[in-house]
Amino acid sequence: MTRSSDDRRVAWVFLLPVLVGFTVFYLYPTARGIWYSVTDYSLLNTPTFVGADNYADLAGDPQFWRSLRVTAYYVVLNIGSQAVLALGLAALMHRLTRSVVVRAMLLVPWLVPNVTVALLWMWLLDANLGLVNHLLSGAGLGRQGFLTSPVWAMPSVALVNTWAYTGYTALLLYAGMLQIPAHLYESAALDGAGELRMFRLITLPLLRPVLALVLVVSLIGSFQIFDTVAVTTLGNPAGATRVVYLYIYEQAFRYFHMGYAAAAAMVLVVILGLLTAVQLRLLRASRSDLA
Amino acid sequence: MSRIAAWCTLGVFLVLTIVPFYWMVRTAMTPAADLYTDSTGLFPDHPTTVNFRRVLGLVDAETARAAGGSGARIDFLRYTLNSIVYCGLIAVGQTFFCAMAGYAFARLRFPGRDALFGVIVAALMVPPIFTLLPNFTLVKDLGLIDTFAGMVAPSFLMTPFAVFFLRQFFLSVPVEVEEAAVIDGAGRWRIFWNVVVPMSRGPLSTIALTTTVWAWKDFLWPLLVGRGEQTRLLTVALGVFRQQSPNTQPDWTGLMAASTLSVLPVLILLVVLGRRLVQSLNFTGIK
């Protein structure tokens, strides 16, 4: 590379690989996806333009609406339990220990593939031989076919992923808590404030920007649940766990309705796009507040 | 007193985190024939390694079937290696190329810079499933199904997040060091390679590590593009393995042995790089 007072040439060299990757695997497929969504396309034929037909069909497709409702139900259960547990866990660590070993142990479920987590819990929740049911019947409670019950399947999936992600979320919140000046806690303790009071009056308000950001990021991830369901229930029983990602996947790769699947994915783009816009705003806000 | 209660609560979290993994290994060491009579004790009555050997493809089909397998060929050694290759390629490629771009966006002056960066950040808003469908047809049209090239292609060169993250990092580094090098007459590339990269080991390894973890967990994309035996990743193989006995009770001892294999490399990573990994989860882990 020769020296140059003009950055323009050098910049293109630095940017070339990323621009190629971005154009070929982000820009082009985005345009193509939008195009698919207004066509009839089965992977085998060439796409034929059908206008807004796919969107009109989607609007009147009870299966699609159900998958959105099922996903929303999952998100509420998953994010609700995960947020409460992770916040409690982070606060505990923050006030008790800086141990790297403890943190590393809590991180393990997040490091493991979702597929492994799903299989592991499918076994633990097995109706006949699973550990959870052994423990339940040992405690005098009835056995449950967790993942095969229309009522329990979705809460079970939500709890499995809460198990997988709580440690990770807690560590992010914990990192946020470390940025809160320690002297605030010291003077509060001198004033005789208890731990719960400190949590309510110091930790929670000062953590708010970080908490909001972490929640939005978890929310975006949660909307995209697929692996767990694809490995365990495949949308069953009777569609009780057919989340929107699985619905799109089935439309595209089982029934080969590529155009229809692309239109359904567009709806998801709108939902997640709005959430990501919020995330980017919060990211900027949290920088200026706490850094 | 309340401190003891707090420690106990933390202890409960740790136990709940670890026990499922213990049960996975315990099941993997149980002979399949014992599963009905021996699924409650803390230790298996007749511990065995046959389940590990058969999922690694180290025993013949007959022994595998006798130990509870379906008889279909499985070779988790190969799938593990495939996963490691997949993660390695993506982590190295993505970190390197995104560092270059992040540096250019942070330091170099050229027309259209901020607009271009804005477009890349905007792509963060597009959920992966949307680009997944056309990317699949693209890779298929290029004849790259069941090749590593096709599998790593979409994330080898970049992800918008990595570019965003590294650009933000380079912006926060003081320029004085580089200015000294400019006065010395070093070109941009030499400054980048000899001054900036060595200074940025922390953030670069953070991106490489997070990328590795995400690639390790990848399922949907490799399921579509790398189903074949030659390119099958651990996660995909686990999914396939699970479906090989769909009507009867799944082959739990084999599945748990295979699952254990998907946890081991991560544990090794955690032991070797634990401190770095844990500490990198400040805000950076967010993706």
A60 reaches B (C-beta below 8 A)? no
Check CB contact under 8 Å for A106 and B255: no
pLDDT > 70 fraction of chain A, expressed in percent and rounded: 96
**Placement of tokens 């590339």 in the chain:** B189
CATH annotation of A52-290 = 1.10.3720.10
* Pair (B131, B57) in one structural domain: no
Q: Tell me, what's the pLDDT at A230?
A: 92
> What is the average pLDDT across A106-115?
94
Put simply, the chain A residues between 82 and 141 with a CB less than 8 A from any chain B CB are 88-89, 92-93, 95-97, 100-109, 111-116, 119-124, 126, 129, 131, 134
User: How high is the mean pLDDT in each 10-residue block of chain B (287 residues)?
Assistant: 86 95 93 80 84 85 75 84 96 96 92 93 87 93 94 95 91 81 79 89 88 93 92 92 72 92 90 77 49
What tokens were used for A256?
A: 């080969």
Q: Which of A112, A236, A253, A269 to mutate to test the interface with B (most CBs of B within 10 A)?
A: A112
Domain that holds residue B186: 76-225
The C-alpha of A138 sits at a distance from chain B's nearest C-alpha, in angstroms, of 10
Would the pLDDT of A1 be above 60? Answer: no
Check CB contact under 8 Å for B97 and A7: no
* Pair (B60, B123) in one structural domain: no
CB B69 within 8 A of CB B251: yes
Q: Tell me, what's the pLDDT at B248?
A: 67
Own/partner contacts of A209-213, CB < 8 Å, gap of 24 or more, are A209/A282, A209/A285, A209/A286, A209/A289, A209/A290, A210/A172, A210/A173, A210/A175, A210/A176, A210/A179, A210/A286, A210/A290, A210/B283, A211/A87, A211/A173, A211/A176, A212/A282, A212/A286, A213/A279, A213/A282, A213/A283, A213/A286, A213/B283, A213/B286
* Mean of pLDDT over chain A: 89
Q: Tell me, what's the pLDDT at A6?
A: 65
Query: Which of A10, A261, A262 faces B188 most closely, judged by CB atoms?
Result: A10
* Pair (B6, B90) in one structural domain: no
What tokens were used for B51?
A: 């389940």
Would the pLDDT of A217 be above 90? Answer: no
> What is the average pLDDT across A153-158?
95
For residue range A58-82, list pLDDT tens digits in order. Answer: 999 999 999 999 999 999 999 999 9
Better-scored residue on pLDDT, B37 or A286: B37
* Pair (B47, B88) in one structural domain: no
Nearest residue in chain A measured CA to CA from B37: A129
CB B27 within 8 A of CB B252: yes
Chain centroid offset of residue A266 CA: 18
Number of domains in chain B: 2
Residues of chain B contacting residue A222, judged by C-beta atoms under 8 Å apart: none
A252 reaches B (C-beta below 8 A)? yes
* Pair (B166, B205) in one structural domain: yes
The C-alpha of B69 sits at a distance from chain A's nearest C-alpha, in angstroms, of 16
Residues of chain A contacting residue B137, judged by C-beta atoms under 8 Å apart: 32, 43, 258
Q: Is residue B284 part of a domain?
A: no
Would the pLDDT of A247 be above 80? Answer: yes
Q: Tell me, what's the pLDDT at B282?
A: 60
Residues of chain A contacting residue B282, judged by C-beta atoms under 8 Å apart: 172, 175
Distance CA A227, CA A113 (A): 9
Most confident by average pLDDT, A153-162, A183-192, B234-243: A153-162
* Pair (B86, B188) in one structural domain: yes
* Pair (B128, B262) in one structural domain: no
* Pair (B41, B165) in one structural domain: no
Check CB contact under 8 Å for B217 and A258: no
Check CB contact under 8 Å for A262 and B130: yes
- The secondary structure of chain B, three-state, reads CHHHHHHHHHHHHHHHHHHHHHHHHHHHCCCHHHCCCCCCCCCCCCCCCHHHHHHCCCCCHHHHHHCCCCCCCCCHHHHHHHHHHHHHHHHHHHHHHHHHHHHHHHHCCCCCHHHHHHHHHHHHHCCHHHHHHHHHHHHHHCCCCCCHHHHHHHHHCCCHHHHHHHHHHHHCCCCHHHHHHHHCCCCHHHHHHHHHHHHCHHHHHHHHHHHHHHHHHCCHHHHHHCCCCCCCCHHHHHHHHHHCCCCCCCCHHHHHHHHHHHHHHHHHHHHHHHHHHHHCCCCCCCC
Domain-wise residue ranges, chain A: 1-36, 52-290
Residues of chain A contacting residue B163, judged by C-beta atoms under 8 Å apart: 18
Check CB contact under 8 Å for B238 and A268: no
CB A229 within 8 A of CB B239: no
Residues of chain B contacting residue A81, judged by C-beta atoms under 8 Å apart: none
